[in-house]
A = this chain, B = another copy of it.
Amino acid sequence: MKALEKGDIVCLLSEDGKKWLVKIESRNFSTHNGIINLDSITGKSPGGFVMTSTNHKLYFFIPSIEELILHYVKRSTQIIYPKDAGYLILKLGIKEGMKILEIGTGSGAMTLALAYFVGKTGKIYTYEERENFSKKAKHLIEQLNLSDRVVFHTKNIADGIEENNFDSAIIDIKNPQDYLDKVISCLSCGASFGIVVPTTNQVSTVLEISETLPVIDVGVCEILLRKYKTNPERLRPNDVMVGHTAYLITGRKISV
């Protein structure tokens, strides 16, 4: 792997397992295990470590998409969880070169995952009506050097979706039922779509609407992630786990 440079986002990991995602720049960074100057990482290879002011190791890595979502995306709104994003990407068939519609940029967590997976030849068109969210997400995508893959629209999609012929769409807003017909009408025939909703009432409402639209293969699921303690002689799940993030509704547009 290439050496780390100023401006790169790195994952710092303390000896006791705490993680931070930071940009490499000339400033001090404080942890419960002492201080480092972030600049001291410049030029080093991932997987190495620096010693903090109190003589603890601090490892650094190139962050995974999971770490970017969980530790870097500013949590100004509910983010999509990696367990859900990962499943959706395979379920929706996200691939390089795709043209994707995202309704509800939010913090940009899904935007960044999509941007990585559509590659240089793909494009994400993401809509968000709250200006502060849109701005933060745009900044995030810039920091990850993915700006040429994402077009940001700061507007309510009641005022129109400006593109069409999308290969896939992901909807993560409070009232997906109000815009589902509009979204479906912008998709290519055969395109997949995914909707992320937290409540069972929303699932029912979306399912009802979808019965009136040219869609097929509609499915609903939820994904549970259960982590384990890593003591090999006392293997057991963690005492507490995330009990719910969202229901995922997926389907495909058909020609009529």
* Chain A residues proximal to chain B, CB less than 8 Å: 1, 13, 17, 19, 45-49, 59-67, 69, 82-83, 85-93, 95-96, 113, 116-117, 119-120, 165, 167, 188-192, 198-201, 203-205, 207-208, 211, 216-244, 247, 252-255
Q: Does B221 contact A190, Cβ atoms closer than 8 Å?
A: no
Closest residue on chain B to residue A251 by CB atoms: B230
Cα–Cα distance between A113 and B86 once the two chains are bound (Å): 12
Cα–Cα distance between A232 and B159 once the two chains are bound (Å): 28
Closest Cβ–Cβ distance, residue A87 to chain B (whole Å): 4
Q: Does B93 contact A217, Cβ atoms closer than 8 Å?
A: no
Cα–Cα distance between A43 and B64 once the two chains are bound (Å): 40
Closest residue on chain B to residue A203 by CB atoms: B235
Q: Does B232 contact A205, Cβ atoms closer than 8 Å?
A: yes
The 8 A-B pairs of least Cβ separation, nearest first, read A46-B190, A47-B189, A64-B93, A47-B190, A241-B243, A86-B86, A237-B244, A207-B232
Q: Does B211 contact A204, Cβ atoms closer than 8 Å?
A: no
Report chain B residues within 8 Å CB of A190. 1, 45-48, 60-62
- In the complex where A190-B61, A236-B244 touch, is A1 in contact with B167 (Cβ < 8 A)? yes
Cα–Cα distance between A13 and B198 once the two chains are bound (Å): 29
Q: Out of B189, B207, B211, B238, which one reaches A235, CB within 8 Å?
A: B207
Cα–Cα distance between A139 and B225 once the two chains are bound (Å): 33
Q: Does A191 contact B1, Cβ atoms closer than 8 Å?
A: yes
